[in-house]
């Protein structure tokens, strides 16, 4: 995010719980938390707040998908995916996670798209 901040805005879009406690629960441990599938925007926001508290080192701002899941439905984002949108069009669409979610591919794309971001400043 820091390397490309003058060229792009970065966001994390919280979509929904992938393995909620009341649906497809896969277990957890003493560190991870499992939430029930939220049924309101207020619940989704509370989950994002808990994520931010759990990982304060993550500086990327969060957006929250609406309860109709319009972002996920429109962009096939579950469980995770990386996108670059320029002039209201996709210029990069990463593979679906978890197996094809490869942040290094996005960095390579941005390095090619914005080569001056890779050049050390004088």
**Which pLDDT tens digit goes with each residue over 50-84?**
989 989 999 999 999 999 999 999 988 888 899 99
Instruction: Using a pLDDT cut of 90, give the percent of the chain over it.
Output: 51
Q: Which two tokens stand for residue 31?
A: 């560190």
Asked whether the CA dihedral 71, 77, 79, 80 is positive or negative, the reply is negative
Are 81 and 102 contacting, i.e. CB atoms less than 8 angstroms apart? Answer: no
Q: What is the DSSP string of 32-59?
A: ---PPPP-SHHHHHHHHHHHHHH-TT--
In the chain, where the domains are located: 12-115
The class level of CATH for 12-115 reads: alpha beta
Q: What pTM was computed for the model?
A: 0.78
Q: Note the pLDDT tens digit of each residue in 75-105.
A: 888 888 999 988 888 899 999 988 999 999 9
């Amino acid at each position: 995010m820091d390397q490309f901040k003058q060229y792009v805005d970065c966001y994390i879009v919280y979509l929904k719980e992938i393995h909620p406690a009341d649906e497809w629960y896969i277990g957890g441990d003493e560190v991870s938390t499992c939430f029930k599938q939220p049924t309101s925007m207020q619940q989704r926001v509370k989950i994002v707040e808990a994520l931010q508290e759990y990982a304060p080192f993550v500086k990327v701002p969060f957006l929250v998908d609406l309860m109709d899941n319009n972002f996920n439905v429109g962009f096939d984002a579950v469980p995770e995916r990386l996108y670059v949108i320029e002039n209201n069009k996709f210029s990069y669409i990463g593979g679906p996670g978890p197996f094809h979610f490869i942040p290094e591919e996005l960095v390579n794309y941005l390095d090619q798209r914005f080569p001056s971001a890779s050049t050390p400043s004088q």
